[in-house]
């Protein structure tokens, strides 16, 4: 019974590490060029939007994995 729970925790940590890597590699260096004063605001807003979308996707993935694992446990 503890193996599915540990596998869920392992998958959770893997997704956290992958998400952090994606943020550092792809979202960190992202910038939009422009000569306006709102340029830093647009850059930060775009990065926040991308980060929020990734967080939403990761949470949905973890919920699906959690539901699959705990249904498997309760059916045993």
**Domain extents for the chain?**
42-76
Torsion sign across C-alpha atoms 33, 37, 42, 44: positive
Indicate if the pLDDT at residue 25 is higher than 80: yes
41 pLDDT tier (thresholds 50, 70, 90): confident
Q: What is the predicted pLDDT for the residue at 66?
A: 80
Instruction: Round to whole Å and give the CA distance between 57 and 60.
Output: 5
CB 9 within 8 A of CB 20: no
- The pLDDT of 38-50, averaged and rounded, is 80
């Amino acid at each position: 019974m503890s193996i599915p729970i540990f596998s869920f925790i392992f998958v959770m940590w893997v997704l956290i590490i992958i998400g952090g890597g994606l943020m550092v590699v792809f979202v960190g260096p992202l910038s939009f060029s422009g000569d306006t004063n709102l340029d830093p605001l647009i850059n930060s807003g775009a990065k926040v939007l991308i980060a929020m979308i990734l967080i939403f996707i990761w949470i949905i993935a973890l919920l699906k994995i959690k539901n699959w694992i705990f249904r498997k446990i309760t059916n045993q």
